[in-house]
Amino acid sequence: MSDATAVPSGEAGTLHPPAISLREAWPWTLFGGALLLLTYLVGFGEGAALHEWVHDGRHLLGFPCH
C-alpha cells in the first residue's frame, strides 16, 4: 500500500498543467508585482526611488514643482 502516486485513476493518461484562468490569476499577478516593487524600493532604492516615483506621479498629474 503506497500513497506516493497522487494521480487519480481515470486521469492517468491526461497529464496537463492545471488550467489557470486570467480571472483567477490577475490578483496574484498584481500582488507579485507590488511585492517586487516594494522589494526594489526597500532593498535597492533606499527611499530615493520612492521619492522619484512620487515625483514622476506629480508630473504625470500635471503639478508644477520645478
Find all residues with CB under 8 Å of 58, minimum gap 6, and list them: 65
When asked if residue 23 is in the footprint of Zn ion (CB under 5 A), the reply is no
How far is residue 10 CA from its own chain's centroid? 35
Region binding Zn ion by CB under 5 A among candidate stretches 10-18, 24-32, 34-42, 58-66: 58-66
When asked if residue 16 is in the footprint of Zn ion (CB under 5 A), the reply is no
Task: Name which of 32 and 57 has its Cβ closer to Zn ion.
Answer: 57
Q: Which residue is nearest to Zn ion (CB)?
A: 65
What residue ranges bind Zn ion (CB under 5 A)? 65-66
